[in-house]
Chain A
Amino acid sequence: MQIRTTNAHVRDAAYAMPAALFMALLFALPLFSVLHQSLQQENGGGLTIQAYAKIFTTPLFLRVAYTTLEVSISATVFSLLLAYPIAYFLAKQSPRRRALYMILVLVPFWTSSLVKSFSFMVLLGQSGIINQMLGAFGIAPVKMLFNRFGVMVGMSHFLIPFFVFPILTSLRSQPLELAKAAAIMGAGKLRIFLRVTLPLSLPGVMAGALLVFILSLGFYIIPALLGGRQDMMFANLVDFYTREALNWPMASAVAVLLVAAAALAAMLLSKVRGGSSILSEEGH
């Protein structure tokens, strides 16, 4: 990194000002008011940590926290298994074809979650298209909706693009000579992948995993529409305390903890090699 003058720093800061102001007004300020709300007593009065004390002794919160972690981790693994081959395939294409295929990767990303969830009901339901096809072969209908499987399908459909891009960056930054050198030394294709390509792409995998995990923590509509009775996540709990229980200090406290968890994961992201490729332009 080159040495910069103070003037350049001031100039760069000026470029960031509009965005910083925008975020301060529309993100930091409301977030502060949520934090403030979480420290209120249920029936008014002074500041208190009552809501937090109640949260950590409520079995409902502990169960939902467990479910949120479980769903987020499995969605991350499920998406990785589907995204890695896509990234690998994309890395091998000519730039023109890659651009075309990347649009295909992004198409589901541009469709509303709500619309997609209803489409999954048509596809995966007991009388859905897939079960009708299975029925034609005399196979009994498989329950694919309103359970954890439905949640996984819905979530990974949304999350895959977030995984593909960091992995693709990692794969493309590998010097082609490395694979060639390994081949000259007599390694087979599988061995080259396992010993050279895969290890070198791990920073991209880690970065993607953290990003996808952070996004998963906040899922709301997909678990509500495609999940079963046990698939209640943090955001659904916030909704419950806001609209059904009308207990806003509790709703705010859950929201604060959710933001804290996401912030913690984001800090980890900045520490991982390859994570920087998402958080700044210095990687690639």
Chain B
Amino acid sequence: MPDLQPLSRRSVIGGLTATAIASPAYIRPGWAQGKRIVIVNSGGAMGDAKRKALYDPFTKATGIEIVTASGPDLAKIKAQVERKDVEWDITDLNDAWVPAAARLGLLEKIDESIVNRADAIPQSKHDYAVGGTVYAAGIAFPTNRLGGKAPKTWPEFWDAKGFPGRRGLRNRVTDTLEIALMGDGVPASQVYPCDVERAFKALERIKPAVSHWIAQTAQTVALIQGNETDFTYTYTTRVKDLQAVNVPIDYSFKQNILGIGWIGALKGTRNRDAAMRFLAFTMDKDRQVELSNLSGDAPTYADALAKVDPATRKWLPNIADPDNLFVNAAWWDSRIEELNTRFKEWLLT
């Protein structure tokens, strides 16, 4: 029998190292060292803008690779965290989600020793999320029909006789309730705490003039283009993108609903440190200016506004305008399920 040399520890380790070096970079377990994080965003134009303004520069600065997934979804986040199988490290979050996600323990607390956001506007601060952008929503209308006559404020939108036309609103209660109150004449400063009964009465009044209760954001403007609606609730960025390709559509900057584009880290992420560093990166003023230039949403630093390209700046909402309304997610937190259920019931009748 030949003399078999027993495997030494050193030869095994040496062999493994050689294999690791020989294998291509993409099969090395980079995530184990926090060299790769997964971010879920809504994709589309905003996803592209974030790739250019945030993700690629972050990788360049830190060596941490960023992989994106499409479609943030609170139910999927809940499932990942509860099963302790967290696949997404960072997620974009809607206004209404942040308090609920924090309450349910789905997000990591923001590490203030890493994330510096002292100068940011107060509306963009939350213990469990950072506010990277300010978006604005309001009324959009076609410029090639109805002789250009369109409602520019919510009371005008609610005036079906004065401004005849098919209206589009969202099929969810958040934003819609606030709009209804403003349509009924409540000034922005007095919308919260919402008078729910008054809002539903106002909704009842406009119901016959609403042809679409829209589920998907993309549909808001698509229905105007397709001549299915005349006036719709939508976002500045949607109208800006359409005007850029000469679609006859315009937008009213009066009485806009302002919201924050939130970003948070999933509770139990294996890359907590890298995730916090990324959140800190999104709160960098220059990065926010770049993102604003590319996306059309506003930065969350008041003094960064002046640095945005003039062509983009005219599309940015005026955060200081008292007629604009910042969404109050904290007011919604304890009420959202009950009011959303009531709203869905109301839609069916």
* A residues lining the B interface (CB < 8 Å): 58-60, 63-64, 67, 121, 125-127, 145-146, 224, 229-230, 232, 240, 242-247
Contacts and interface: CB of A to CB of B under 8 A. Distances in A.
Given A244-B172, A246-B100, A127 B226 contact: yes
The 7 closest A-B pairs by CB, nearest first: A127-B227, A60-B345, A243-B75, A229-B213, A245-B337, A229-B347, A63-B348
A121 B227 CA distance: 12
A193 to B, nearest CB: 42
A230 B75 contact: no
B78 interface: yes
A126 B166 CA distance: 12
Contacts of A58: 341
Contact of A247 (B211, B213, B337, B348): B337
Given A60-B345, A67-B348, A229-B171, A246 B78 contact: yes
B226 A126 contact: yes
Contacts, number: 54
A146 B222 CA distance: 14
B42 to A, nearest CB: 14
22 contacts: A58-B341, A60-B344, A60-B348, A64-B348, A121-B226, A125-B228, A126-B226, A126-B227, A145-B228, A146-B212, A224-B215, A229-B171, A229-B347, A232-B344, A240-B340, A240-B344, A243-B73, A244-B340, A245-B341, A246-B75, A246-B78, A246-B337
A60 B211 contact: no
A240 B215 CA distance: 11
A230 B348 contact: yes
Contacts of A59: 345
Interface in B314-349: 336-337, 340-341, 344-345, 347-349
A230 B349 CA distance: 7
A146 B215 CA distance: 12
Contacts of B347: 229-230, 232
Contacts of B78: 246
Contacts of A146: 211-212, 228
Nearest to A239: B75
A243 B213 CA distance: 18
B338 to A, nearest CB: 9
A59 B349 CA distance: 10
A232 B347 CA distance: 10
B144 to A, nearest CB: 13
A229 B226 contact: no
